Chain A
Amino acid sequence: MHEIKSTVEKQIAFSEVTRAEGRECIQSEFLSYLSDESKLSVESCDYIFFPKNEAEVAAVVCEMSRLGIPLTVSGARTGLVGGGVPSKGALMSLERLDRVQALYFNTCAKEWRVQAQCGVSLANIKIMVANKRFSDLESSSDQKLLSALREFRLEPMEYIYPPDPTEMSASLGGTVATNASGARTYRYGPTRDWVRAIRAVLPNGEVLEIPRGKYFASTSGKFTIIDTKGQSRQLHVPDYPMPRTKNTAGFYAAPHMDLIDLFIGSEGMLGIITFIEVALCPHEHKCSLMLFADSDEQAIALVESLRSQSGLQLDMLEFFSQKAIDLLRERQTQETAALGMPPLPEQNVAAVFIELPFDPLAEDMNFARLAEAVERVGLSLDHSWAGYEPRELTRFKVFRHALPETVNHLVAERKRQYPALHKLGTDLAVPDDKLQPMWAVYRQELDRAGLQWLAFGHVGNNHLHINIIPQDPEEMSRGLEIYSSLAAQAVAFGGTVSAEHGIGKLKANFLKEMFSERDIARMKAVKHTLDPQGLLNPGNVFSS
């Protein structure tokens, strides 16, 4: 079915919505709403709205539309590309839509699902699912719901919600709007793979309810949306090919695609996602391993070997370049306990970090395939760190995050002399067969430029974060040029300019590296069909 009808939910007066008004008041009392993790910030905006339910969201959208006021939407403001920073007009924070609404077992898909408002944080979902305690549901008078909750608790199996972006304070809605991913995307895929239904308030204030598997593009690549007045609009699915990598650049498009996928990862450009249903996945005990290699190239070879080893299931496959380990070792030398880890190996090493299913009390423990993949490239499981207790998994996680923190600290020190300085962090990904050639390009271009740089990140998805750490403005300017050429190379290899951070406001120029003018015009046409006034999230995705 490619036709879908939008609805109007219960009407709420716009005046009932909690708000802050006036640029001065907002600047002095709501400063944190004018920036996000990208550090992009604006001086002020005219309004901030704090709706607490979908009807209030719709009331704000209708009123802003009537007045022609641009409206930016923010979640937990953990984005890295400035998507939630208002460029003008009004801001709507969805933080008060923070309730889990249901838990049930879907008998067709044979999976447990959670339904929640968009503002619930991933951290809360993680804790609620792990502890099987849903405070929002426990006081419900709905007997069916309470019965599902009891059944869930009685199950001996433990569950997780797999998407794991670094920032777990992110809101569920934010992660759906940006199709967030993380280290475990290697096994579990990005957020998209776990979303089973959404509700979205369209720029005209009407609501679309989109379960997965119900609305598909017609054979001619169209969706028809019929509003409550009977007017229909045709959405033409763009016909560009998607990169063969994980990707957050541009609207998702594919022949016969599911309508829900157009909204997931659209960075809020098409509608405001207010309700989400996600699937849970059985929890397995894990073991974290840091495998040390003698060089970056040997570490990359190890990645290829691990990926090609049949019968070896890894949850994550991450990379630390030799320069990254050097930087961490330097920090450890200055302060022994800084990383909470034993001393890093003294010789030059790179490392590959993996996580894999592991039951410490299993009678039959066979990791011959892992050993084979490691030994194939001349390495050994002896040269590794490993841990499987929950506290050890957390220890490894803290260690992984210590690297970007160390880089940020270094940049902050240099900013004292040059306040405009900032690190340049790439988010490029390429297809599997281009990992080695892309690594060769990184090394050649960055070493030749004589800039301080290092690499880490999701190598299993061929998605490395190259961090260029400039010493001064001149180096930053050269770094930016190199960043552009690296982005062009990634696209030439069939990759993406943004694998997980999205485009937002800061990377809008990169969209042109990846999509032709015609492709971008197709995307804009989709946007225009749903938001003819262009009021929703202005300045995001498309550069002006």
Chain B
Amino acid sequence: MVASNSELAYDSKIEGEVIVSRADAVINWIRSNSMWPMPMGLACCAIELMAVAASRFDIARFGAEVMRFSPKQADVMIVAGTVTYKMSSAVRRIYDQMLAPKWVIAMGACASTGGMYRSYAVLQGVDRILPVDVYVSGCPPRPEALLDALIKLQEKVKREPSASKLLSA
């Protein structure tokens, strides 16, 4: 379904070499196709994250192979692995340093809900400290599942009213 803020109209006979579109559509298209992840690779899911970035599953097809470890240069934080209470403050601080717009993917069972570690040291879900946009289940999730999550996030981004947010901010 083509929503109003994802339309791109192009009619070369009338406008010539010019694309006419809505600001939302263009902004969302640019943002969703170049999501730079900040890999918060903590445990085993980080290995599957590396496998997604490697040649067989190739996250570069989606514009997201640029794994930026600096939060100021990243768009989406992929929390891959178990977040312990000791680590939770570091994760939150890094999230705070990311610049808007920013999103979070909770990859794996441990990041979503604490996973199979129901113990005294594990944060039961990273959504206790961060607002999560997409949860991926699996222990670890297959790389295809992570790519599916990325696609879902891209669709979510495409539905956002970005222009009004920018103008009102």
Partners in one complex: no
Using a CB–CB cutoff of 8 Å, the interface residues on chain A facing chain B are: none
